Each structure stands twice: as C-alpha cells, then as structure tokens.
Amino acid sequence: MSESQSFLDIWLNEAYGIVSDYFIFAGSAFLLFYFILKKPMWFRKVQKKLPKVNDYGRDILYSLITVTIFATAGLLIAFVWRPYTNLYNDIDQYGMAYYLFTWVWMFFLHDTYFYWMHRLMHQPVLFKHVHLVHHKSTNPSPWTAYAFHPFEAVAEVGILPLIAFTLPVHFPALGFFFLFQIIYNVYGHLGFELYPKGFNKHWLGRWVNTSVAHNLHHKGFRGNYGLYFLFWDRLMGTLRSDYDSTFDETTAKETEIKKQEVLA
C-alpha cells in the first residue's frame, strides 16, 4: 500500500467516525423530539413551530462539508503533526489530578475561543459572506449543529490545534471532549429546552448556556454568543434581555400541565 493510499484510508476512517457521531446524536435527537416525543414535549419547544423541510436538507448538506474539514484537521493533529503536539497517552505521566484539570481547561478554553470567534463572525462582512449560512436556520434543529460555511468550519476547528499545542492533554480525553462537544452542540440547537424550570436563575445554572439561550441567538441574530457557558455573555453585556423571560415561559408550562393532571 502506498503512503498516499494509507493517508487516504486514515482520513476516510476519521471522516466516517465524525459522520457517524454526527448522525447518531443529531439523528437520534431529531427522531426523539421531532417525532416520538414531539407531542408530550411540545410545551418545551422554544419556538412553537417546526423548521421547513428545506432547512433540514440545507443543514445536513453543509454539515457533511463541515465533517470533511473536521476530519482533515483531526488527521493532521493525530498523525501528521502529532510529534510536535503536547498530546500524551499515559494518564500516569501527569497524574489523575492534572488529567481532571485539563478537562476544565479545555471547556473554558473552547468556550472563550468560541465566544470571541463567534462575535467576529457577526461582523457585517463575515456575517454576510460566511456566518449567514448557519443563521439561515432561524428556528434551528439538531441538524443545524454542524451547518457551517467551509470558512467558518475551519475557524470552528481551530480550537483543536490550540488545545493540542498548548498545555499537555491526554490524547483519548481530547477525543471524548470533542464527542461531548457534538452532544452539547446538538442540545444547543435542539429547539427544545431540557433543563428544569428555574435553572436559569440557579447559582450554577445562571452561568450555563442553554438551548433557549442559543435559540434566541438564532431567532434574533444578536447576543448569547457563548457555547458551554454564559460567563462571557454576562461579563461583556451580550446576554439577551429576553433570555430569562423566555426560559421561564418555555419551562413554566410544565407546572401548568402537572396541575391539570392533578385536577383531572
């Protein structure tokens, strides 16, 4: 087997893995909430309408393009540039305490990177020619999670080399971290709120990004730029003023339904 053929095989395996994760998690969430649980969970739908079929098709198409870009970046880091990275395989090399610290590090680094990159994407020129692809879904679905313009996909995956070339990170942990990133990204675009009533005002929950928060970003095009957290949005004054009221409204109906069930 030639070196180029081997490289292609590795790339195809990498792409297959990312595509599989994307379709498993986005597809499962879509089947579960848009078909199986649509009626009982409808009171938790942020926007009380469904996206159009064309929206699903467009999002899937762009997501497949994004996956090829992500696979290429993963291949470069894992195989081509691996000797120059700070990735390691043996947890004992730095110990369990450091291993756990790197998870916290990756979350905050990625959230910070995403927030500022995302705000940059909302500058008029970049928004019109790049980020608008993602914002064509004003009422997002799980398929919107990876629906990026190719240039934005490159910017999105820029967090991978940033992690790999800074602090030492356990290589398998990096893979699990990006798997979690897919899951939380799907939740952020789900269109249904899963966190309980009052979570947005809880001492911990008020710092956590929610499906409501990101849905409002897609609907209104401004504010709520965070990924996992709301730290930067609160610090920089970019948390939308309608966030708390929308979260309360979206989750309050759960109480009303329970009251009706008791009275019945």
Fill in the amino acid letter for 79.
F
pLDDT at 4 over 70: no
For range 165-180, the mean pLDDT: 95
Fill in the amino acid letter for 251.
T
- As a whole number of angstroms, the distance between CA 67 and CA 17 comes to 10
Could you tell me how far CA 4 lies from the centroid of its own chain?
33
Tens digit of pLDDT for each residue in 15-52? 788 888 899 999 999 999 999 999 999 999 999 999 99
Specify the residue for token string 């199986």.
36
Half-sphere exposure of 156 (CA within 13 A, CB side): 26
- As a whole number of angstroms, the distance between CA 3 and CA 181 comes to 32
For range 168-174, the mean pLDDT: 96
Predicted pLDDT of residue 263: 42
CB 89 within 8 A of CB 171: yes
Residue 140, by phi and psi: left (phi above 0), alpha (psi -120 to 50) or beta?
A: beta
pLDDT at 167 over 80: yes
Query: 52: which residues sit within 8 A by CB, 6+ positions away?
Result: none
- As a whole number of angstroms, the distance between CA 42 and CA 250 comes to 10
Predicted pLDDT of residue 259: 47
Tens digit of pLDDT for each residue in 91-122? 999 999 999 999 999 999 999 999 999 999 99
